[in-house]
Structure formats: structure tokens, C-alpha cells
Chain A
Amino acid sequence: MQIQVDRDHALISMSGEFTFTDHVPFKQMVEEVFATKGKAVVLDLSKLDFIDSAGLGMLLLARDEAKKNDCALILRHPSGQVKRMFGVTKFHTLFTVEE
């Protein structure tokens, strides 16, 4: 998976496949992005092709990190398999999901 961070707009673009092997860079990105309290961060998932159960777990941990620092985490434009996974796991009840 590739991660592109736009610090000025608090926008993080993820592309490719989000699996267990991405846990180190993802954790580093989350710690860095949510270091500043009170801001809203958008994860652009429009180019993300696949997410496994480990990826879902990492998103949930990111949400906890955001809450700890009074930040908001928004998931934007999930599609394909990612959208189906969000549907089955009712992610819209856990996150703000923008279609």
C-alpha cells in the first residue's frame, strides 16, 4: 500500500491493498497525524482496492488514537471490495463515512 500525506489539508491518500504488512508505516503515520490535538483528518480511500481484517483492525485503532487526541477521523469514498467490507461490518455506525 502507498500512503500520501497532505499535512496542509490533513488529507491522507491510501492506494493499493491495506493488509497486515502495512502496520508499521500506518502506525507511524497515525501517530504523526494525530499528534496535534483537535483537528479533523480525512482518509481518502478512493484508490484503495482491498482491505483485509487486519486493515479493519488498524482503522479501529486509528479511531481510538483520534479520540484520545480529540481529533475527528473521516473515511472518504470507499469503493469496490472496501465498500462491501464497510457495509458488512457496519462501519458507518463506527466512523463518519463520506460516499
Chain B
Amino acid sequence: MLRRKHHNATAVSLRVPEPAPPPDTRDDELASQDALLRRWVSFAEMQQRIIRTLVTEIQQTSAVVETEADGLSGRFQRLAVCAERQTARVEELSRLAIGIEVDGEVVPIAKIAGLLEGTLGDVVEKILLLSKDAMSMVYALSELTANVDRVDICMDELNKINRTTNMLALNARIEAERAGTAGAAFRVVAGEVRVLSGVTQRVSVDMATELKAVTQGIDNGHATLKRVATIDMSQNLLAKDRLEVLMSALIRRSGDLSDVVAGAMKEAEVISADVEGMITGIQFQDRTRQRLEHVVDTLHVVDEGLQELKRSTEAGLSVPYEKTAQDLEWVGKLLDRFTLGDLRARFVAQILEGKQPSEATAQQTAGDTPSASGTVELF
């Protein structure tokens, strides 16, 4: 890479040598004019070389600009296509961030969270109701057990009464036998009482059997209900709490993602706009090329004018002109202002050494570079 040092931007002093002292005689005057014309012709010769060298340089530079601009334009067009694809991807990402596609419909995440919360809330309500009803049934069964215990006590009392009644009936029968015929009616009553006591005893036994079955049923129900009531749903209830926290975090994340995607879309749009602007801007190259062509054309005209004038002046010279050291001096000072080593080398070859542009480029490529003034750094 070439790094330029900037020189002081003052014009090079193209000092034309001082004119000859005023002539003493007419011959001297003519000789002086002749010398001046020769000097002018020599100067014009150098000007022409410089102009032609400049023309070559401008044409080559224009070609480089055109090539590079074409390359840049191609790259920017590819960049525009990529930017467009990126924008499409970001739009798709935005759509994905908003919700989840279910059966062809995009369901927003906030809505999913709402649905989940509603469903879980319903489950929690039902768990509470279940717990309350289970405990209610436990209480009811406990009361029923107490009732059954009281009935059992009553049954025991009844049995006692029955046994006493039976005993009394037996005693009455014995007394009736002792009373003989006078106790006949009493014997009948005692017999009936005994029969009644027997029936009561059988009914009591049946009731005890039924009561036992009821007690067994209550115990079984109690055991089942206890299993139901002791199922601890507290972890399931707390799971709803954890899920709500997770859903809130998911909604926040979705929101953050949407913000990032929105930012990315804006950036993508800016990039696309800038790239389109660059592609349009690179078209400056075509206008620049036309302007440079006009400059080159003008320089050609100047060159031709100089050539014509030089030829006609040379024809009038008594002594042909020759290149002088003064010509090389001011051109050398001009070239010393150049900071680009390769540019200076081409100018030296074409202006000072009179080589053709192709020769100057070939010489430079071969590495045969004239000594530079040391103002260009290569790295």
C-alpha cells in the first residue's frame, strides 16, 4: 500500500530563464529572438510530453475507476439481494415470536398463557371442592359411626330387657302351675309373653346382624374416604403457581424477542435503503468517465495546437533547437513533487526519457525504476 506525504500546496515555480540582455544591434536582436523562439520550442516540446503523459495517466485512471466501480456495483447488488432475504427472514422470525401455529392459526403466546391460567384455575377450584367434600364426608361418616355406636348400646339394652322378660315369663309360668286351675289364665298370658320374648329375641338378633353389616360398610367407606382425603394435592396446587411464573417469563421473553426483531427489521430496512443508494451513487462513475474524456479530448486539441505551432516555429528557426539543461531542470522539479513512486517512474520514463507509455509500464513492471525522491512509503 502506498502512503502519501502531502507536500506544501504551493505551485511549482516553473521559472523560465531570464531573457537575454537587450541587443546592441539589429543582428543581435534577431539572434536574441531566434534564441527565444528556440527556447519556446523546447518548452513546447516538454509541454507536449507532459500533456501526452497526463492524457495516458487520465485514461488509465479512468479505466481503473470504471473497473473498480463495476466491481463495487456488482458487490452492492449482491448485498441488496442478501439484505432483501434477511428482511424476509426477520419478518418470518417476527411472526414466529408472536405466537405458535396451531391448526393453521397463529395463537399469540399471551392468549396461550391466558388459556392455561383459566384451565389451571378451574382445576384448582375443583381440587378445593373435592377436598372440602371429602372432609365433609369424613365428618358425616364419623357422626354415622357415633350413631351406630349408640344404636349398638340400645341393642344391648334391648337384649337385656328381653332376657329379663323371658325370665319373668318363666317365673310367671311356674307360679301359674303352683296356682293350679286358678292360674290357668295366668299360664296362658305367661306363655304368650314368652313367645313374644322369643320373637323379640329373633328380631334383635336380625337387627344386630344388620347393624354389624352397616358398621362394616361404614368402616369400609371411612377407610376409602380417608385414602381420598389424605391424597395431598398441595404440590399440584403449587405447580399452578410455578406454571404461572413460567408463563409470565415466557410472555416477557416473547415481548423482548419481538422488540429485538422489530429493531432488526428497522436495521434491515436501513441497510436495504443504503445499499440501493450506493448502487445509484456508483453510477457517478459513468459521468466521471465522460468528464475525463472531455478533459483528454481538450488536452489532445492543445497538444495538436502546440504541435502545429512548434512545427511552424521550427521552420523559421535559423538554428535548430536543442533540449537544454534548463528544460530538464524545471521538469525534474515538477516530478519531485510526486509522492507516488510508480506514477513518478512512469512520468520520468515518458517525459524525460521520451519512452512510449507501453515501454514505461513494461520498464516499471520489470523493476527498473528510476530513483525516487524518497517521499513515498511502501508497506
Which residues on A are within 8 Å of B, measured CB to CB?
A: 19-20, 23-24, 27, 51-54, 56-58, 60-61, 81, 84-85, 87-90
Let me know if A57 and B132 touch, CB within 8 A.
yes
- Chain A residue nearest to B233 (CB atoms) is A53
Main secondary structure of the interface of B (DSSP, over half): helix
Q: Of B49-57, B223-231, B277-285, which stretch is located at the interface?
A: B223-231
Contact with A along B200-225 (1 / 0, CB 8 A): 00000000000000000000000000
In the bound complex, CA of A88 to CA of B124 (Å) = 8
Let me know if B134 and A54 touch, CB within 8 A.
yes
Q: In the assembled complex, which residues on chain B have CB atoms less than 8 Å from the CB atom of A20?
A: 135, 138, 226, 229-230
- 25 A-B contacts, Cβ less than 8 Å apart? A19-B230, A20-B230, A23-B135, A23-B138, A23-B229, A24-B142, A53-B128, A53-B234, A53-B237, A54-B134, A54-B135, A54-B232, A57-B130, A57-B133, A57-B134, A57-B135, A57-B229, A60-B128, A61-B132, A61-B136, A84-B241, A85-B234, A88-B238, A89-B124, A89-B128
In the bound complex, CA of A54 to CA of B128 (Å) = 9
3 closest Cβ contacts across the A-B interface?
Answer: A57-B131, A53-B233, A57-B135
Let me know if B237 and A85 touch, CB within 8 A.
yes
- Chain A residue nearest to B236 (CB atoms) is A53
In the bound complex, CA of A60 to CA of B237 (Å) = 16
Distance to closest chain A CB from B353 (angstroms): 96
Residue picked from B127, B130, B132, B230, most chain A C-beta under 10 Å = B132
B337 at the interface (CB under 8 A from A): no
Interface residues on B, range: 20 to 34
Give the number of A-B contacts (CB < 8 Å).
70
- Chain A residue nearest to B120 (CB atoms) is A88
- Chain A residue nearest to B143 (CB atoms) is A27
Distance to closest chain A CB from B145 (angstroms): 12
In the bound complex, CA of A90 to CA of B240 (Å) = 12
In the bound complex, CA of A53 to CA of B229 (Å) = 8
Q: In the assembled complex, which residues on chain B have CB atoms less than 8 Å from the CB atom of A88?
A: 124, 237-238, 240-241
- Chain A residue nearest to B241 (CB atoms) is A88
Distance to closest chain A CB from B235 (angstroms): 9
In the bound complex, CA of A3 to CA of B113 (Å) = 41
Let me know if B229 and A54 touch, CB within 8 A.
yes
A61-B136, A85-B234 known; A53+B241 contact, CB < 8 A: no
Residues B180-194 near A (CB distance < 8 A): none
